[in-house]
Amino acid sequence: MRVLLKIEELTVAYESDSQRLLAVNNVNLEIFQGEIFGLAGESACGKTTLANSILRLIKPPGRIIGGKVIFDGVDLLSLDENELQKIRWEKIAYIPQASMNALNPVLRIYDQLADVVRAHRKDILDEEIRKRAEELFVSVGLAPEVLKMYPHELSGGMRQRVIIAMSLILNPKLLIADEPTTALDVVVQRGIIQLLKDINKKFGTTILLITHDMAVHAQIVDRLAVMYAGKIVEVGPVKDMFEKPLHPYTQMLIASIPRAGEKRRLSGIPGLPPDLRKLPPGCLFHPRCPFRILGRCDSIEPELKQVSKDRKVACHLYDR
Amino acid sequence: MSNLNLLELKNVSKTFVSGFLFKKKVVAVDNVSFSIPGEKPVIFVLAGESGSGKSTIARIILRFIKPDKGEVLYRGRNILTFNSKELLLYRREVQAVFQDPYSALNPVYPVDHILSLTARRMEVAQGKEIEEVIDEALISVGLRPEEIRGKYPYQLSGGQRQRILLARALIPRPRLIVADEPVSMLDASLRAEILNLMLDLKAEHRVSFLYITHDLSTASYVGDYIAVLYKGSLAEVGPIDDVVSNPYHPYTQLLMSSIPIPDPSKRWQEKIAAPEISVAREPVSGCKFYDRCPLRKEECRRAPPPLKKVGNRHVACYLY
Amino acid sequence: MAGTSSKGKSRSLIKSLILIRRNSKVTYGAIAYLTALVLSAAVLTIYPPRSRIIGYADPLLPPSPQHPLGTDILGREILALLAEATINSTVIGLIAATIGTLAGSIIGFLSGYYGGKIDYVLRILTDVFLSVPSLLFLILISSLVRTVTIVQMGLLIALFAWSWPARQVRAQALSLKERDFIYLSELSGESRLEIILREMMPHMIPWMTANFVNAFISAILTEAGLSILGLGPQTEMTLGILLWWPLNNAAIYRGLWWWWLPPVVALIYLFFTLYIVQLGITEIINPRSKVI
């Protein structure tokens, strides 16, 4: 499998006055072409910052202070703004959180789509745009009449489909979707999840899906990475991750998810995520970990190491 | 405990009118009737998606708004006829927890403010006793008073705030707590703790809950009974395990099948049709679920189906 | 810790005061303004009242050690006049701002909190007063009235100063009453009045303060504008009147800079100090809007 996106030792910091916190802390990640890759983690774990930094959308007081983001062999962090503009939307499309509410309320859907296209392809004809838009809309399950409508006339689910269509219009290789179903009803959510799967199958688009909802990951992704306090703690095929989670955080996270019909007592994770300004020594999870090894987990930070063919864990329990 | 139903809604309807010249009517609640039994503490789930009317019902029960038609009976007495003294007694017995722990606490005061206020106004204790009552309440929700007293909301985490809100609700020793999406804004690992807390409170403090949510996984974890709402009308009411495992109403079936199961080996097999419902719709004369129902018949269009007893539950569907 | 709530309330008031004091802009701006007032008071005690009456000294004397800012066309000590004007303008500003903010806040609050017909009527009233060109109306009204005292001037300006606070406070009340913690207070047994005073007021006070400073600035400038046109209180000295004299006597043309420059400088100074205070209060309300 060919590696499409390789993130190497990426670190993003937020600095204010005298304090600095590492929102993304030395992250290493590989996403293969054609797969659906899931990034899981709870609030403030850094997954949205990670998504933003791939396309260099981090604004002060945030700053990328180290690492590489290698897309198709090119380090995106070394490109200048013009070259990066050619990548955004054309090669990598990004759907930020709540973007379905960010549609311009005074423009018709078609005009907004056309805007996007013309910003990247100046000479394209109107008929071409219209043809492509209509084809795309059918693929995402929208009637072509929607092109003439205004955002407020559409339901939440329809708007999300519009956003997805907009992101695909220039045929990107990679689609990054941050919490694409969070605000939607469960039936609509299922439709969107299905849609993402269809897009991946039909167009071969690689998808990086970011969400805290583990059930959504279970339904759609091929491989999954779990983030905690800015670091990746485990990566692997989704089936293995759920069947046999290795990292204690992953285990406890999965154990805390209710399943309709199951009455087994759920367990939460006691304690709180660390204050990113004052990180604990050693493993960032150790204060809450029931399996911590005294003398080791509280002083030495575990590295993300390969423990089997497709699995990586950052945990001392799996040190040889 | 008395044999009377704890809470009973009888034919409750509420329509909202907006605008001065161009009046727009939205039927939020349409002839809803259900009862929460009172012999032993139960967790009664009111489930529905956005626009189903569940929040409006909560506000009607809490006497923030008045229904246009119908009655709400608490232990047999119509809550709309209460004078101010009876209203105080009602508020002592029926308390609430809201969805957003961040906005439910006044940020200009330390959290003690709302706790001691409740104790005093609800005539639970006087003078020095108030402190003991507050400490007791905090302990019963798993918080340590020393860590909480004197703190401002911004100094506490979402989970802590939600627990404080539960503690506040417990101070007047209520019989029923109306919990409107109490865990939706919390991380997965925290949800389990709050849900377990609800189960423990039900068992130890003999408190019933009206748990309002759109998340059927958490609902089935804590619930005993469930009432499913669709666009202001009840679709199905019954014991939750039966309704979840064997739903009768086509809408309930659709809901249950749309819940993402957190198990990669149990992925959705069939595809569902894209729900392309346009936003502006004229009020329907028949069953509200008509256009989305795969099992619809001619008679479904003529009049809304009445809520009928079918087996161990009630269903509003002509199929029965 | 019995009675935590009242302690909590005083603690939070103290907290807001500390916040205000800690904010350098508010502190320095306020100190700068108060300095001007104190200096004015000092000047008035040093220079006797007759220094402000016709014939005290020779007219149109340029600045000198005996007359630090010179004298005007009637032979009055300009420094003393300036001191009196500063204080009087402040009084007008205070009257207009206080009444305007208080009345406006009450009207706005009733409008937002109760809604319905009350809101409908009050809103129309507010909008009318907002959209009407206040300066023109003030000119009209003051030209119909023969003489105006300082207090009357303040009241007159207050007539148009209440509408903006009303609109602001109405918006605040509207958004506040739907907040979860307000509903929670009602569930906890707090009465309507208690909710308004105890839960909502701390949120509105920063805005009301900002409105007050706003109204204050606006009042001083409005008074200056009216007085320059000759519509001000003729019997007492204000900064505007202090400008009317030189303007009406071609002071600029005649090169009598000590006659027109001091009030201009004073106005700019007072305006500036209040502007700094306003920036500071805006920062407190919205910490993300730091400009300087």
Interval A161-199: pLDDT, tens: 999 999 999 989 999 999 998 878 888 888 899 999 999
Tokens read off for C79: 């420094």
Name the domain count of chain B. 1
Helices and strands, counts by H and E, chain A: 9, 12
Query: What is the pLDDT, as a whole number, of residue C68?
Result: 85
CATH of domain A3-91+172-318: 3.40.50.300
B127 has a chain C CB within 8 A of its CB: yes
Q: Closest chain B residue to A217 measured between Cα atoms?
A: B262
User: What does the pLDDT look like over B205-259, one tens digit per residue?
Assistant: 899 999 999 888 899 999 999 999 998 999 999 999 999 999 999 999 988 888 8
* pLDDT band at residue B280 under the 50/70/90 scheme: very low
**DSSP letter string, B73-98:** EETTEEGGG--HHHHHHHHHHEEEE-
* pLDDT band at residue A35 under the 50/70/90 scheme: very high
How many Å apart are CA B121 and CA B111, to the nearest integer?
A: 16
- Whether residue B49 is contained in a domain is answered as no
DSSP state of A120: H
Mean per-residue pLDDT, A112-131: 88
Instruction: Give the one of A143, A220, A272 whose C-beta lies nearest to B276's C-beta.
Output: A143
How many Å apart are CA C162 and CA C158, to the nearest integer?
A: 6
Q: Closest chain B residue to C14 measured between Cα atoms?
A: B108
Domain boundaries, chain C: 25-289
Helix ranges, B171-317 (H):
188-205, 216-222, 240-245, 250-258
B187 half-sphere exposure, CB direction, 13 A CA radius: 24
Decide if pLDDT at C290 tops 80.
no
How many Å apart are CA B226 and CA B277, to the nearest integer?
A: 26
* pLDDT band at residue C12 under the 50/70/90 scheme: low
- One CATH from 1.10.357.10, 2.60.120.10, 1.10.3720.10, 1.50.10.20 for C25-289: 1.10.3720.10
Instruction: Give the one of C1, C11, C187 whose C-beta lies nearest to B96's C-beta.
Output: C187
Nearest residue to B228 via CA among B256, B201, B261: B256
Query: What is the pLDDT, as a whole number, of residue C287?
Result: 64
DSSP state of B185: T
**DSSP letter string, A93-107:** EEE-TTGGG-S-TTS
**3-state SS, residue B268:** coil
Mean pLDDT computed over every residue of chain B: 87
Would you call B108 and C203 a contact, using CB atoms and an 8 Å cutoff?
A: yes
Positions of E strands within B19-93: 24-36, 43-47, 69-74, 77-78
Give the closest-approach CA distance of C234 to chain B in angstroms.
Answer: 47
Tokens read off for A297: 């987990």
- Whether residue B249 is contained in a domain is answered as yes
How many Å apart are CA C115 and CA C107, to the nearest integer?
A: 12
- pTM of the shown model: 0.84
How many Å apart are CA A14 and CA A58, to the nearest integer?
A: 10
How many Å apart are CA B157 and CA A195, to the nearest integer?
A: 36
- Whether residue B243 is contained in a domain is answered as yes
Above pLDDT 90, what percent of chain A?
50
* pLDDT band at residue C6 under the 50/70/90 scheme: very low
Q: Which residues pair with B315 in a beta bridge?
A: B236, B308
- Whether residue B111 is contained in a domain is answered as no
- Whether residue B66 is contained in a domain is answered as no
Decide if pLDDT at C40 tops 80.
yes
Query: What is the pLDDT, as a whole number, of residue B276?
Result: 53
- Whether residue B177 is contained in a domain is answered as no
**3-state SS, residue A180:** coil
Query: What is the pLDDT, as a whole number, of residue B273?
Result: 62
User: What does the pLDDT look like over A211-232, one tens digit per residue?
Assistant: 999 999 999 999 999 999 999 9
* pLDDT band at residue B200 under the 50/70/90 scheme: very high
User: What does the pLDDT look like over B95-133, one tens digit per residue?
Assistant: 999 988 888 999 889 999 999 999 988 877 788 888 999
DSSP state of B122: T
Query: What is the pLDDT, as a whole number, of residue B319?
Result: 85
C179 has a chain B CB within 8 A of its CB: yes
Tokens read off for A38: 């899931």
How many Å apart are CA C277 and CA C36, to the nearest integer?
A: 15
How many Å apart are CA C97 and CA C158, to the nearest integer?
A: 7
- A35 in Cβ contact with A199 (< 8 Å): no
Burial C2-15 (b: 16+ CB within 10 A, else e): eebbeebbeebeee
Q: What's the 3-state SS for chain C? A: CCCHHHHHHHHHHHHHHHHHHHCHHHHHHHHHHHHHHHHHHHHHHHCCHHHHCCCCCCCCCCCCCCCCCCECCCCCEHHHHHHHHHHHHHHHHHHHHHHHHHHHHHHHHHHHHHCHHHHHHHHHHHHHHHHCCHHHHHHHHHHHCCCCCHHHHHHHHHHHHCHHHHHHHHHHHHHHHCCHHHHHHHHCCCCHHHHHHHHHHHHHHHHHHHHHHHHHHHHHHHHHHHHHCCCCCCCCCCHHHHHHHHHHCCCCCCCCHHHHHHHHHHHHHHHHHHHHHHHHHHHHHCHHHCCC
Distances (CA, A) of B8 to B37, B65, B83, C121: 8, 17, 19, 40
Query: What is the pLDDT, as a whole number, of residue C279?
Result: 87
Chains C and B touch (3+ CB pairs under 8 A): yes
User: What does the pLDDT look like over A60-114, one tens digit per residue?
Assistant: 888 999 999 999 889 999 898 888 888 898 999 999 888 888 899 999 999 999 9
Distances (CA, A) of A117 to A111, A141, A143, C288: 10, 20, 20, 35
User: What does the pLDDT look like over A249-283, one tens digit per residue?
Assistant: 999 999 988 888 777 888 888 888 888 888 899 99
Angle at C111 (CA atoms; ends C110, C117), nearest 5 degrees: 115
Mean per-residue pLDDT, A304-320: 88
Chains adjacent to A (≥3 CB pairs closer than 8 angstroms) = B
Would you call B277 and A155 a contact, using CB atoms and an 8 Å cutoff?
A: yes
Nearest residue to B176 via CA among B206, B133, B139: B206
Domain boundaries, chain A: 3-91+172-318, 102-171
How many Å apart are CA B132 and CA C234, to the nearest integer?
A: 67
How many Å apart are CA C187 and CA C184, to the nearest integer?
A: 5
Angle of helix C116-131 relative to helix C163-177, nearest 10 degrees?
150
Give the closest-approach CA distance of C187 to chain B in angstroms.
Answer: 6
Chains adjacent to B (≥3 CB pairs closer than 8 angstroms) = A, C
Decide if pLDDT at C4 tops 60.
no
- Whether residue B274 is contained in a domain is answered as no
Decide if pLDDT at B274 tops 80.
no
Mean per-residue pLDDT, A148-155: 88
Tokens read off for B212: 């309002």
Which residue is listed with tokens 């700068």? C32
* pLDDT band at residue C215 under the 50/70/90 scheme: very high
- Whether residue B287 is contained in a domain is answered as yes
Q: Closest chain C residue to B88 measured between Cα atoms?
A: C189
Which residue is listed with tokens 């929700």? B141
Instruction: Give the one of B91, B100, B112 whose C-beta lies nearest to C189's C-beta.
Output: B91
Would you call C8 and B106 a contact, using CB atoms and an 8 Å cutoff?
A: no
**3-state SS, residue B56:** helix
A182 has a chain B CB within 8 A of its CB: no
Tokens read off for B256: 């249950």
Domain of residue B319 covers: 234-260+281-320
Query: What is the pLDDT, as a whole number, of residue C185?
Result: 93
B189 has a chain A CB within 8 A of its CB: yes
Decide if pLDDT at B199 tops 90.
yes
Top pLDDT among B44 and B123 is at B44
